[in-house]
Structure 1
Amino acid sequence: MSIPSRHFDALIIGAGGAGLNAALQLASADVRVAVVSKVFPTRSHTVAAQGGVNAALANVLPDNWHWHMFDTVKGSDYLGDQDAIEFMCREAIPTVYELEHAGVPFSRLDNGKIYQRAFGGQSQDFGGDQAARTCAAADRTGHAILHTLYQQNIRARTHFFDEFFALDLVRDKDGVISGALVLEIETGEPLLIEAKATLLATGGCGQVFRTTSNAHINTGDGCAMALRAGIPLMDMEFYQFHPTGIAGKGMLITEGVRGEGGFLVNKDGERFMERYAPRAKDLASRDVVSRSIVTEVKEGRGAGENGDYILLKLDHLGAEVIDKRLPGIRESSRIFAGADPIREPIPVFPTAHYAMGGIPTDRFGRVVVPVGSGSEQVVAGLYAAGECACASVHGANRLGGNSLLDILVFGRLAGKDIIDFVRENPYQRSVDPASLDEAMSRLTRWDQKGGGVPAHQLRADFRKCMEDHAGVFRTEEVMAEGYQRLCELRDQFKDARLTDHSKVFNTARIEALELQNLIDVGLSIAVSALHRKESRGAHSRPDYPNRDDVHWMKHSLYYREADRMDYKPVRTKPLTVESFPPKERVY
């Protein structure tokens, strides 16, 4: 079969904040860049980020980047790499000003400066009073940033392949990544895009769980492509459950609600966070608040007819504040919870939200893999940025407001590094036909009718199993049982079939292709969690309730082949300042 091909200097898979910021650097430098997105770019999941982006601008309260760094290291439960964290926190300030100059319509203070709100895990003076560090555009910050970046890319003449699905990476005969095979969703026709450098910016994998704040497109595609290329995924056991998803639905209620003065209560009207985090209360770190909510419900203090959620009150803020600062939240609550927060509380419960782990990279976005004796090797021409990547700035738990910062800082830096790489490697490597055939087999496999479980049913079973066995609280027994069931589902996938082969739309094939990605990435979470025998950040094990810095101060590495695990040390030495040594993490 002859497959049409296109050639570019650089290929970016994913059109969220990381992909678009990288593309903007490249297009502005006259590098021929293609961006592949399975949805129209402004529907990428960055558009759903609500609360804001962190930067120590000190517009509302005193602040500096060193305090931001301390909070991020502490929030990571000391598993974050401190050199990367320092770099991100220092770069936050010029990054936000660059966005402002690009046209992002941030909310403003009376003096004209960018408005900043309080978020969880923030402090002044290395753990002192609450800080206000999160730069916001009402409660639609991601929307404002994504649309601005897209408009700037159109101005720079970036080439977009909208509604194309990335099937797999392709290599040359030496094993070097030389582009990707993609599928036009509308026609079902494959297209080979060859490039000197490829950036994976495909976002998160929240759809591995049944209840999630993530969009339907967040199926871990980039992480799964990396796994199939023999690259491990790092720290996948650390999956964040956002404390305030709309109960039973999963849609996000931003931490900005609590930053503006909202608070959580149980069925008795008690502000229970005062018991779990006496100082920070409702603005404790996300893992702390999520576990507190689940504990309240398990101990019988949940609200509602079935006692299965907690209430988030913000009616005391008044209609004017809510309509000015939280208009999207009011709209979402009315539509999905049937509650108008001006008059009544919002029912909330933790929802699967964010992967701290991902494809291991350095702070320039270059994918790195272990090569023995504690050393690492850069995978030539392959980059990753955003939620699918792990530069390890989030460690075991991400602070709110650091996700937009992560994608913007490292997307920008990856783009700049690709410029240098393309100039130093001006010749396109030819794709190995065997590599192309292997990528194509992922698509042609669904041309066979098969006699197994329908793919849509298998997808539902897999996501429920992940939610039941790899959720907020994990034990050896629960996870071991879950792993066995996940392996059974992985085996069933080999014979899975599309529901009705005579009436299949291309979207059904896309969902089946996504299912394979979900299975690969879901297993990486489950296996990594089963092996880590401690509680740290978002990984909470009642059977190992304490953090164990002696045995587990290390990054996990999951390989798809035989579900193999490996480990590497945490980089505790920052770039220019003193290290923050591990200590008890209290709020």
Structure 2
Amino acid sequence: MQTHQYDVVIVGAGGAGMRAALESSTRARTAVLTKLYPTRSHTGAAQGGMCAALANVEEDNWEWHTFDTVKGGDYLVDQDAAEVMAKEAIDAVIDLERMGLPFNRTPEGRIDQRRFGGHTRNHGEAAVRRSCYAADRTGHMILQTLYQQCVKQDVAFFNEFYVLDVLLTHDLTSGEVADGEQVQVSGVVAYELATGEIHVFRAKSVVFATGGAGKIYKTTSNAHTLTGDGMALALRRGIPLEDMEFFQFHPTGLAGLGILLSEAARGEGGILRNSDGERFMERYAPTIKDLAPRDMVARAMANEVREGRGCGPDKDYVLLDLTHLEPAHIDAKLPDITEFARTYLGVEPYTEPVPVYPTAHYAMGGIPTTIDAEVLRNNTDVVGGLFAAGEVACVSVHGANRLGTNSLLDINVFGKRAGIAAARYATEAPWVDLPEDPAGPVVGEIERLRDQAAGERVADVRRELQETMDANAQVFRTADSLTQAMDDVTSLKKRFAAVSVQDKGRRFNTDLLEAVELGFLVDLAEVVVAGALAREESRGGHFREDFPTRDDEKFLHHTMAYQRPAATGGTEIVLDHKPVTMTRYQPMERKY
């Protein structure tokens, strides 16, 4: 076992992690731990853009952006956080431009902007051009730009280091630590993929920027590595997860595959059509049609299919029509996603509409934080020195449904805030002693998995988990479907205890680490389903067919889910609530 010491340790090297590293590394000794080479992080898959009220193309202002974010999130957004994000969006874009990010330009040389779902002018009057973009490779460009800047600043990267535990001064899993009592982070424990060696990183500040958990679903736009590591580690250490029942299903995944076609296609004029050739979104969102928020478009598409207006031999998808656009326009603005259609479906977007269907895309919930990215261990108390930013976190700027392009904005605004706050804490706080045997639990779990002679296959348990989540906890949900999902997840938790791995070696043992990641997925699926069962209303990405209306009287609050020891052994999910922060926008009917 090796021990390292840094003022700040950042876990994850996607957009949020590297944006945090750029800030903290100039102020404190910083290390970035990442289970992937940084430029392979999932931020690179984001296509469409990053929004800011620059008003480069049309009249716009940050207050309209704030309103759209709150309304798009179905009024579960913490409005103080939304105001921070919308205000700081402009500087976030300009920061990236000055770092060298090659945004598309207007003929006058300004950063170009295009329309995106749910972004409107004057509180809903019409769609507005707010998304700053680099063709349909915006996330890729952000990731490359941030990594280049980190290299320039000599940020210390530990690549292919899997963080498997976070070390705290108190055991929060029992729920018995008194409110107001100081709890601090002392470091993390990581597994080095190349050698199988365990490393303990002592730190004054730790920033989680580990991304989402889309692999709890079978049909997803998320990479194989998005297994919710940071969320699950926090949950297992007694920290709550907020609003995990709200999962976004992106409308335009390639049918049957889930590979994403960006909302930018609709922003550039793409039209969704059913088997009758009808532009059906005119019936669901008459004002902004195909550019309605993602949850509304995804449900409309699923509804068209189940009412018999789907396309294809099995009538199980709808069509995204780009054929009315000039090929030169498509090539200039949408080069990657049209190539995806050609490569994976054999469809030529110039002349043929593309088969699409909703795909699991983004977790609105996550580790609860303040607007300065401090992790909350209950509704009010922070964990000293522990921060989170990006999809792993829930500062709640996305509420019940995230607007497109707000994710790349979120990672830059709150990644920057996390880096500054973590460095500030590290310069002011004393060192905290490590536990007596800091790596003991990690070593025990790894050896248990490696030594298990025979048992369940990781792939079998993961496949069954993903299938039940797809079937029972996706776009449409009911008490019956969610109860079935919970029964299945409970069974899979027991089966996970008997999982064995075929590779017993130490070097580059991805078989072993996929088993560890499966444990994270099972834990998080349980939280998603528990929250969805308890929330007997429909709001944003959570749609209960047995409770089809929003119920502000009973459910205008955040869900706080804690993992606690169960009386019968093992663990269970205990739910609590947290009030939504309101500033200027009171809930009203959400229509477009």
TM exceeding 0.5: yes
Look up the match of 2:456: 453
**1:524-563 aligned within 5 A:** 524-561=527-564, 562-563=572-573
Look up the match of 1:239: 247
Identify which range, 531-540 or 163-172, moves more after superposition: 163-172
Distance in 1 between residues matched to 2:170 and 2:277, nearest whole Å: 65
Distance in 1 between residues matched to 2:59 and 2:582, nearest whole Å: 27
Aligned length: 574
**1:175-194 aligned within 5 A:** 176-194=184-202
* Amino acid in the other structure paired with 1:582: P
Distance in 1 between residues matched to 2:445 and 2:112, nearest whole Å: 48
Cα distance per residue 1:516-575 (max 9 Å; x no partner): 1111111111111011000000000110011000000000011122211111110112xx
**1:288-367 aligned within 5 A:** 288-367=296-375
State, as a whole percentage, how many aligned pairs show the same letter: 49
Residue 464 of structure 1: how far off its partner (Å): 1.0
* Amino acid in the other structure paired with 2:223: A
For the Cα contact (< 8 Å) 1:173–1:431, is it kept in 2? no
Look up the match of 2:208: 200
- Secondary structure at the aligned position of 1:119 is classed as strand
Distance in 2 between residues matched to 1:326 and 1:209, nearest whole Å: 27
For the Cα contact (< 8 Å) 1:173–1:432, is it kept in 2? no
Q: 1:92 to 1:502 in 2, by over 3 A?
A: closer
For the Cα contact (< 8 Å) 1:106–1:135, is it kept in 2? yes
Distance in 1 between residues matched to 2:40 and 2:508, nearest whole Å: 21
Look up the match of 2:132: 135
Look up the match of 2:287: 279
1:410 matched to 2:408: no
- Secondary structure at the aligned position of 2:163 is classed as strand
- Secondary structure at the aligned position of 2:120 is classed as coil
Identify which range, 235-244 or 181-190, moves more after superposition: 181-190
Distance in 1 between residues matched to 2:587 and 2:169, nearest whole Å: 44
1:568 matched to 2:578: yes
TM-align CA RMSD: 1.3
For the Cα contact (< 8 Å) 1:449–1:501, is it kept in 2? no
* Amino acid in the other structure paired with 1:275: R
Distance in 2 between residues matched to 1:377 and 1:389, nearest whole Å: 16
Residue 28 of structure 1: how far off its partner (Å): 2.4
Look up the match of 1:488: 491
Look up the match of 1:54: 51
1:380 matched to 2:378: no
Equivalent residue in structure 2 for 1:218, among 226, 229, 235: 226
- Secondary structure at the aligned position of 1:306 is classed as coil
For the Cα contact (< 8 Å) 1:181–1:440, is it kept in 2? no
Look up the match of 1:116: 113
For the Cα contact (< 8 Å) 1:170–1:439, is it kept in 2? no
Distance in 2 between residues matched to 1:504 and 1:186, nearest whole Å: 5
Distance in 2 between residues matched to 1:346 and 1:489, nearest whole Å: 36
Equivalent residue in structure 2 for 1:477, among 476, 480, 490: 480
For the Cα contact (< 8 Å) 2:194–2:508, is it kept in 1? no
Distance in 1 between residues matched to 2:523 and 2:146, nearest whole Å: 31
Distance in 2 between residues matched to 1:210 and 1:102, nearest whole Å: 37
For the Cα contact (< 8 Å) 2:465–2:522, is it kept in 1? yes
- Secondary structure at the aligned position of 2:128 is classed as coil
Equivalent residue in structure 2 for 1:70, among 45, 67, 70: 67
Residue 434 of structure 1: how far off its partner (Å): 3.9
Look up the match of 1:257: 265
Distance in 2 between residues matched to 1:146 and 1:391, nearest whole Å: 22
| TM-score normalised by length of structure 1 | 0.96
Look up the match of 2:180: none
Look up the match of 2:22: 24
Distance in 2 between residues matched to 1:176 and 1:439, nearest whole Å: 20
Residue 17 of structure 1: how far off its partner (Å): 0.5
Cα distance per residue 1:329-377 (max 9 Å; x no partner): 111111112112112111100000000000000010000122xxxx510
Identify which range, 240-249 or 516-525, moves more after superposition: 516-525
Residue 170 of structure 1: how far off its partner (Å): 1.9
* Amino acid in the other structure paired with 2:524: V
Cα distance per residue 1:19-63 (max 9 Å; x no partner): 00000001123x111101111100100000000001000111110
* Amino acid in the other structure paired with 2:580: V
Distance in 1 between residues matched to 2:452 and 2:195, nearest whole Å: 20
**1:509-528 aligned within 5 A:** 509-528=512-531
Equivalent residue in structure 2 for 1:268, among 267, 276, 293: 276
- Secondary structure at the aligned position of 2:408 is classed as helix
Where does the alignment leave 5 or more consecutive residues of structure 1 unmatched?
574-578
Distance in 2 between residues matched to 1:489 and 1:514, nearest whole Å: 14
Distance in 2 between residues matched to 1:522 and 1:253, nearest whole Å: 25
Distance in 2 between residues matched to 1:407 and 1:567, nearest whole Å: 25
Equivalent residue in structure 2 for 1:167, among 164, 168, 177: 164
1:389 matched to 2:393: yes
1:441 matched to 2:439: no
1:468 matched to 2:465: no
- Secondary structure at the aligned position of 2:129 is classed as coil
Look up the match of 2:152: 155
For the Cα contact (< 8 Å) 2:53–2:89, is it kept in 1? yes
For the Cα contact (< 8 Å) 2:450–2:512, is it kept in 1? no
Q: 1:298 to 1:530 in 2, by over 3 A?
A: same
Distance in 2 between residues matched to 1:513 and 1:345, nearest whole Å: 41
Q: 1:344 to 1:228 in 2, by over 3 A?
A: same
For the Cα contact (< 8 Å) 1:201–1:385, is it kept in 2? yes
Cα distance per residue 1:137-192 (max 9 Å; x no partner): 00000011110000000000100011111111123478632111111112211111
Cα distance per residue 1:388-413 (max 9 Å; x no partner): 00000000000001000011100000
Cα distance per residue 1:45-98 (max 9 Å; x no partner): 000000000100011111000000010000010000000001100000111001
Q: 1:552 to 1:468 in 2, by over 3 A?
A: same
* Amino acid in the other structure paired with 1:231: I
For the Cα contact (< 8 Å) 2:21–2:150, is it kept in 1? yes
Look up the match of 1:576: none
Residue 468 of structure 1: how far off its partner (Å): 1.2
Q: 1:187 to 1:503 in 2, by over 3 A?
A: closer
Where does the alignment leave 5 or more consecutive residues of structure 2 unmatched?
172-182, 565-571
| TM-score normalised by length of structure 2 | 0.95
- Secondary structure at the aligned position of 2:500 is classed as coil
For the Cα contact (< 8 Å) 2:196–2:508, is it kept in 1? no
Q: 1:34 to 1:392 in 2, by over 3 A?
A: same
- Secondary structure at the aligned position of 2:377 is classed as strand
* Amino acid in the other structure paired with 1:454: R
Look up the match of 2:81: 84
- Secondary structure at the aligned position of 2:103 is classed as coil
Distance in 1 between residues matched to 2:34 and 2:441, nearest whole Å: 22
**1:493-504 aligned within 5 A:** 493-499=496-502, 501=504
Distance in 2 between residues matched to 1:431 and 1:334, nearest whole Å: 53
For the Cα contact (< 8 Å) 1:169–1:439, is it kept in 2? no
Equivalent residue in structure 1 for 2:96, among 96, 99, 110: 99
For the Cα contact (< 8 Å) 2:47–2:139, is it kept in 1? yes
Look up the match of 1:585: 590
For the Cα contact (< 8 Å) 2:195–2:506, is it kept in 1? no
Distance in 1 between residues matched to 2:297 and 2:170, nearest whole Å: 50
Distance in 1 between residues matched to 2:3 and 2:217, nearest whole Å: 36
For the Cα contact (< 8 Å) 2:116–2:131, is it kept in 1? yes
- Secondary structure at the aligned position of 2:76 is classed as coil
1:125 matched to 2:122: yes
- Secondary structure at the aligned position of 2:123 is classed as coil
For the Cα contact (< 8 Å) 1:450–1:496, is it kept in 2? no
